[in-house]
Chain A
């Protein structure tokens, strides 16, 4: 597919919400190893607010902005901050008035989304956080040669899943989980896993 429409994008969001909701318990159990065990609930709540914010959207820039606003105002905590930053950042990466995006515009949008996340966390790849899924996903999206939007997002999904898997052998180095040190090794990070699920859903929805 050469163009991504608003309806395509809404389908991506809806599939992500569906898949993440189905796997919420798994994310919470991973989070309970080094945290308070609420990540499944938190990401479902946050993504629900994101999807709500997209309901009336008819062009990308405003819709992405509304989605980010909605999640940041309706919910609180780090999961919603990061997700809100992602969509606000994506809004910054597209020109106003566009209802379809070609592959290069999709790449720019996702790259800007990562910049939006970086405004809200100092975590770096290797710290065993969602950044370990997000950063490789965006790098793969940006560097993908294809002009086909689905192929671009497939590349992102593959990199996100690999990135999340790689967190199994990492030691938590950020936030409260850092206090668990060696105990955090052997399990994937909950945030990296849920974000990888989101990227996988984005690609599969097309």
Chain B
């Protein structure tokens, strides 16, 4: 796969430089591989931090901004940042109000977060973790620890970001986040895999005409298995039905429905997918009150998308819809 890159080992550094130059009024590099807000949040409010490998742009650094994340700690391509880097960020954001650390459930991220939090605790830094595990491909009854963190972390970041901006305490934010965690589910599908930009290795190649439901954001297989490619409507129906089985939304419930393109699937296709999923929800009497068709977390040139369904409590809906954010990739008309 040909890519517009320079030296492979410089990708992460260079992409973060480009990003923070383009949106310098909103984000800047606080230290190497640590993206922070240009206009920092007051110290009396909880800081919201996340961590993760690069190669998934705009996630996660694209969502640093007022009303969302205070900081993202970036690892190399598809790799968790080390505990040292994360601990450095926790030290930078040390405050009496505390730090909420959003961790996507991937083993490297979890390990770095646990280590950094153990050190932080000893250094008198108040920090609590929220682990996201929205993926449902491990099975509807799979324990949370076996469920990966997919793009559902982005609406979560918006919700806790808005709540933190309003001055909610660390304990309140954990409660808001954990309640949302139980009500959000994501399912991914891929029809063409991607290459690792540093070594060109093909990640889980998929034959032409085959799709895999459940493929994760590093191209790793899920449990949905491979099937022949079917129409957009059929694909959307299979996926929204699985998500509805997981969450059991009732008629009258308010939900969010996001379609996240992972890199090589056109917005044309994403719109067609969204249409069917929306129709299925509406036919069941469910209200789609927050919708997005966007690329929020990508996987290089993988073709496919993640479908995200979340039941919204009134406060979640308010934080999501009415809280303002200037994060560069949280696209809002008229923001």
Q: How far is the CA of A72 from the CA of B90 in the complex (A)?
A: 15
> What are 26 A-B contacts with C-beta separation under 8 Å?
A65-B122, A69-B122, A72-B84, A72-B115, A72-B118, A72-B119, A73-B83, A73-B84, A73-B87, A73-B119, A74-B84, A76-B82, A76-B83, A76-B84, A76-B112, A78-B111, A81-B83, A81-B111, A81-B115, A84-B115, A85-B118, A88-B118, A88-B122, A120-B114, A120-B115, A122-B145
How far, in angstroms, from A73 to B85 measured CA to CA in the complex?
A: 9
User: Cα distance A6–B83 when bound, in Å?
Assistant: 29
Q: B-facing mask of A114-126, CB < 8 A → 1, else 0? A: 0000011010000
Pick from A72, A88, A119: contact of B83, CB below 8 A.
A72
Which chain A positions have C-beta within 8 A of B119? 69, 72-73
The contact string, 1 if C-beta is below 8 Å from chain A, for chain B 112-128, is 10110011001000000
Q: Hey, which chain B residues are within 8 Å of A74, CB to CB?
A: 84
A74-97 CB mask vs B (1 if < 8 Å, else 0) is 101010010011001000000000
Min CB–CB distance B33 → chain A (angstroms)? 14
Q: Which of chain B's residues have a CB closer than 8 A to the CB of A81?
A: 83, 111, 114-115
Q: Flag if B118 contacts A119 (CB, 8 Å).
A: yes
Given A72-B83, A72-B115, 14 additional A-B pairs, CB 8 A: A69-B119, A69-B122, A72-B84, A72-B119, A73-B83, A73-B84, A74-B84, A76-B82, A76-B112, A81-B111, A81-B115, A84-B115, A88-B118, A120-B111
The number of residues on chain B lying at the interface, defined by a beta carbon within 8 Å of a beta carbon of chain A, is 12
Q: A-B pairs with the 10 shortest C-beta distances?
A: A76-B82, A73-B84, A72-B115, A81-B115, A72-B83, A81-B111, A72-B119, A69-B119, A88-B118, A120-B114
Q: Which of A46-74 contact B (CB under 8 A)?
A: 65, 69, 72-74
Query: In the assembled complex, how far is the CB of residue B201 from the closest CB belonging to chain A, in whole angstroms?
Result: 15
Tell which of B87, B112, B122, B145 has the most Cβ of chain A within 10 Å.
B122
Q: Output the nearest chain A residue to B122 by Cβ-Cβ distance.
A: A65
- Contact at A119–B114, with CB atoms within 8 Å? yes
Residues of A contacting B84 with CB < 8 Å?
72-74, 76
Chain A residues with Cβ under 8 A from B87's Cβ?
73
Contacts of A76 in B (CB 8 A): 82-84, 112
A-side contacts of B114, CB under 8 Å: 81, 119-120
Residues of A within 8 A of B145 (CB): 122
Instruction: Name the interface residues of B68-115: CB closer than 8 Å to any CB of A.
Output: 82-84, 87, 111-112, 114-115
In the assembled complex, the CB of B332 is this many whole angstroms from the nearest CB of chain A, namely 38
Q: In the complex, what residues of B have CB within 8 A of residue A84's CB?
A: 115
Would you list which residues of chain B between 221 and 275 have a CB under 8 Å from chain A? none
In the complex, the chain A residue whose C-beta lies closest to that of B117 is: A119
Which A residues, 139 to 158, have Cβ-Cβ distances below 8 Å to chain B? Answer: none
Task: Give the residues from 166 to 200 in chain A that come closer than 8 angstroms, CB to CB, to chain B.
Answer: none
Specify the chain A residue showing the minimal Cβ separation from B88.
A73
Alpha-carbon distance A65/B119, docked complex (angstroms): 9
Min C-beta distance of B300 to chain A, whole Å: 23
Q: Which residues of chain B are within 8 angstroms of A65 by Cβ–Cβ distance? A: 122
CA–CA, A69 and B112, complex, Å = 13
CA gap between A74 and B87 in the complex, in Å: 12
Contacts of B122 in A (CB 8 A): 65, 69, 88
A19 vs B250: C-alpha distance when bound (angstroms): 64
| Alpha-carbon separation in the docked complex, A81 to B84 (Å) | 12
Residues of chain B with a CB closer than 8 A to A69's CB? 119, 122
Give complex CA distance A84, B122 in Å.
Answer: 13
A81 CA to B119 CA, complexed, in Å: 11
Give the nearest-CB partner of B111 in chain A.
A81
